[in-house]
């Protein structure tokens, strides 16, 4: 029995030493890095965000892809400098473009009104932010009406 006991002890010692070696190897693997011991980054802007011009270009690209147009002072400047059209043509084309956008907005409002009616909703059941947006849209439409009146005079 003592031979079996000695064999068992030696087997246990072997297993314990193997486990310790594996743990030491795992610890070493955790400490090893893939980049080595470098001093730092060679690019000073490695983690900075895009510049303002890059962001603007991205926004214009996304607006164009979505079928939207952006309002900028440059657009007004280009329109003023455009010699191919008379002022009447410029105003006529602009009003036509605005009319199309207003038609689209009117269609959307009809859709949402239909949804409201189908679900028997009341304005007081809207989210707080939705009511604020509706109020602001009403104010803006009032200002648009004033601008249209001025344009007509």
Res 38: pLDDT? 62
Domain count, the chain: 1
Please say if the pLDDT value at position 39 is more than 70: no
Please say if the pLDDT value at position 26 is more than 70: yes
Please say if the pLDDT value at position 2 is more than 90: no
Asked if residue 44 is part of any domain, the answer here is no
Please say if the pLDDT value at position 114 is more than 90: yes
Q: How far is CA 46 from the centre of its chain?
A: 22
Band (pLDDT 50/70/90 cuts) for residue 17 is: confident
Asked if residue 18 is part of any domain, the answer here is no
Asked if residue 85 is part of any domain, the answer here is no
Asked if residue 99 is part of any domain, the answer here is no
Res 104: pLDDT? 93
Asked if residue 152 is part of any domain, the answer here is yes
Q: pLDDT tens for residues 48-97?
A: 777 778 877 877 777 776 666 556 667 778 888 888 989 899 889 888 98
- Give, in order, the Cα–Cα distances in Å from 123 to each of 80, 114, 131, 141, 153: 44, 13, 8, 19, 36
Asked if residue 108 is part of any domain, the answer here is no
Please say if the pLDDT value at position 141 is more than 70: yes
Res 35: pLDDT? 61
Asked if residue 146 is part of any domain, the answer here is yes
Host domain of residue 149:
122-153
What tokens appear for 106 in the block?
Answer: 């009117």
Question: Is residue 82 left, alpha or beta, with left meaning phi > 0 and alpha meaning psi from -120 to 50?
Answer: beta
Asked if residue 138 is part of any domain, the answer here is yes
């Amino acid at each position: 029995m003592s031979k079996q006991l000695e064999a068992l002890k030696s087997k246990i010692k072997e297993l314990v030493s193997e486990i310790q070696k594996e743990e030491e190897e795992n610890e070493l693997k955790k400490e090893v890095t893939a980049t080595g011991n470098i001093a730092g980054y060679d690019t000073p802007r490695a983690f900075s965000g895009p510049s303002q011009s890059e962001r603007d270009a991205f926004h214009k690209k996304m607006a164009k892809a979505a079928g939207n147009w952006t309002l900028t002072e440059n657009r007004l400047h280009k329109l003023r400098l455009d010699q191919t059209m008379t002022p009447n043509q410029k105003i006529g084309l602009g009003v036509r473009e605005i009319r199309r956008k207003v038609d689209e907005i009117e269609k959307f409002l009809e859709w949402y009104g239909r949804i409201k009616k189908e679900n028997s909703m009341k304005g007081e059941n809207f989210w707080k932010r939705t009511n604020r947006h509706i109020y602001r849209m009403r104010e803006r439409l009032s200002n648009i009406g004033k601008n249209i009146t001025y344009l007509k005079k």
